[in-house]
Structure 1
Amino acid sequence: MKQTVEEAAIESCVIDRSIYNDEYQPYYLDGFKDGAEWQAKQSPWISVKERLPGKNTGVFFTVEWKDSRKGYFVGLYYGNGQWESDNRMFLQDSPLYRITHYMPIPSFDEILEANRDVLERIKEKGD
């Protein structure tokens, strides 16, 4: 079962009473909700400058060529700067292009969980 933002905020208040008291509850809850809203708007793309995926990890990744074209690929990161998609290897240090961002491929269970509310609505409608 998914937890609402308000439920998570209240639970975090209970866990750490040192930063919370009844007088500040409305402010704390508002700040928690604002933080959750901000997080939800963040891009799922991760810069390769920030960090690389684990070895042998399936990912979506972006390639920017020197002539300003950009491509999006589904493939595997082998480690050591080697990316593969459809039997085509991309090397991180190529003079012709650069890998800029990646996004982990979610598992089937993660996709189901993220769309549970949609599935429940479909069930209720009987479609």
Structure 2
Amino acid sequence: MKQTVEEAAYDYATNKTKFRKDVLKEVDADTYVSRHADSMEDFQCGAEWQSKQSPWISVKERLPEEEQKVFVLTMRYGVPYIQKEKFRRSSNLDTKERWIHGNSIVLAWLPIPSFDEILKNNNKK
């Protein structure tokens, strides 16, 4: 199961501040708690920023809705390809539950926005 951002931030902050306190002797006992909270906040901000950078969704994360039109990312002979596809569970998944497009395994997908969504986003600018 994936870690939540909060869990990952806690682990990161605990390990970072523990290392600074125990190994580098940088952090005294009084500022340990303060540093721990700051590190957690820094990690969460970075993780949230990163999550918004790529609109592509890994097939390991989730699959599209039935009949949803999407762009798919595949690799053929080491070359990435992007193609349009309508997802159908019955015809797109092989016996190992892998999403197949042609002869290639789909790595990620991107929802195709509706015309209304495009207009709405362009009006925000």
Please report the TM-score for the alignment, with normalisation by the length of structure 1. Answer: 0.49
**Per-residue displacement from partner, 1:35-77 (whole Å, max 9, x unpaired)?**
8x82784210000011000111100111112x21211001211
2:83 to 69, 73, 77: 73
* Equivalent position of 1:25 in the other structure: none
Q: Which has the larger share of strand?
A: 1
| 1:58–1:75 Cα contact (<8 Å) kept | yes
Alpha-carbon spacing, 1:81–1:45, altered in 2? closer, same or farther (3 Å): farther
State the percentage of identical aligned residues: 38
1:53 to 52, 56, 64: 64
- Give the length in aligned residue pairs: 79
Please report the TM-score for the alignment, with normalisation by the length of structure 2. Answer: 0.50
CA–CA separation in structure 2 for the residues paired with 1:40 and 1:101 = 15
SS for the counterpart of 1:113 is: helix
SS for the counterpart of 2:116 is: helix
| 2:74–2:105 Cα contact (<8 Å) kept | yes
What aligned pairs does 1:35-54 form with structure 2 within 5 A after superposition? 38=49, 41-54=52-65
Poorly superposed stretches of 4+, deviation over 6 Å: none
What aligned pairs does 1:1-127 form with structure 2 within 5 A after superposition? 38=49, 41-65=52-76, 67-80=77-90, 82=92, 92=99, 96-118=103-125
SS for the counterpart of 2:88 is: strand
CA–CA separation in structure 2 for the residues paired with 1:81 and 1:50 = 20
Instruction: List gaps (5 residues or longer) in structure 2.
Output: 1-41
Q: Which has the larger share of helix?
A: 2
SS for the counterpart of 1:115 is: helix
CA–CA separation in structure 1 for the residues paired with 2:89 and 2:66 = 5
CA–CA separation in structure 2 for the residues paired with 1:98 and 1:113 = 33
Partner letter of residue 59 of structure 2? V
Alpha-carbon spacing, 1:50–1:41, altered in 2? closer, same or farther (3 Å): closer
CA–CA separation in structure 1 for the residues paired with 2:91 and 2:59 = 10
